[in-house]
Amino acid sequence: MTGGEYLALLERSPKLAHEKLFGEYYNYVRTIAFNRLRSTGTTEDIEECISDIFAQIFFTFGEKYSNGDMKGFVGTVAKRMSIDYYRKLVRKAGKTFSMDEDGVPEISAELDLVKESENSELRHILMDSIRELGEPDSTILIQKYYYNKRSHQIGTLLSMNPSTVRMRCKRAAEKLRRVLENRGIKEGMI
C-alpha cells in the first residue's frame, strides 16, 4: 500500500484504513519492536510499544507523507518509538550511565555490554546462516521460529502442502545445525 492509497482510503473510511494498515504492517512493526525490546522488556511492554507505534502512525500520517513509500514511514516511526521505549525501560530498571570524578563514563554493573555484543553477533551469524540455506528453506525457518507461524500458514504463504513444510523445516533445521557447527557455534550458544 502506498501513502497515496492509504490517504485515499483514510478519507473514505478511517476505520477500514486503520485495519488495512494494521493488517499489512503488524508483523513488520512487531519485528522492529521485538528486536529492540526483547532484552529489556516483557511481552506486555512490546505489545504496548506496538500499540503506541500504530497510534502514532494513525495520528501523524498526512499529506506530507502521502508521496512516499508507506513502509519507509511505518519503519521510521517504529524504529524511533522502539528506541524511546528501550530507553524508558532501561531507566525504569535502574540501568544507568554515570560519570566518575574524572568525567569518564561508568557503566552500571547491571549492564553486561560484552554479553549483549556477543549475543548480537550470534544473531547476525544465525541470520546469515539461515539465508545461506536458500529458498524456501530460509523462509520456512524464519516464519516458523521467528514469527511462530504454523505449517499450514507457511504452506499457504509458499503454496506448499503443510506436510511438505514440516518435512522441509526438519531438514532445513538439520542443515542449519551443520552450518552453525562449521562456523564454531554449538547448541545452546544461541
Q: How far, in whole angstroms, is CA 83 from its chain's centroid?
A: 13
CA distance readout (Å), 85 to 18, 70, 78, 118: 23, 22, 10, 23
Please, what is the Cα angle at 122 between 117 and 128, to 5 degrees?
130
Mind listing the pLDDT tens digit of every residue in the chain (190 residues)? 677 777 787 788 888 888 888 888 899 999 999 888 887 878 888 889 998 998 888 888 765 666 667 888 888 889 999 988 888 888 877 654 444 444 444 444 444 555 665 666 777 777 888 888 888 888 888 888 877 888 888 888 888 999 999 999 899 889 988 888 887 777 655 5
Of the candidates 125, 139, 142, the one whose C-alpha atom is nearest the C-alpha of residue 179 is: 125
Neighbours of 44 (CB within 10 A): 8
pTM for the predicted model, two decimal places: 0.48
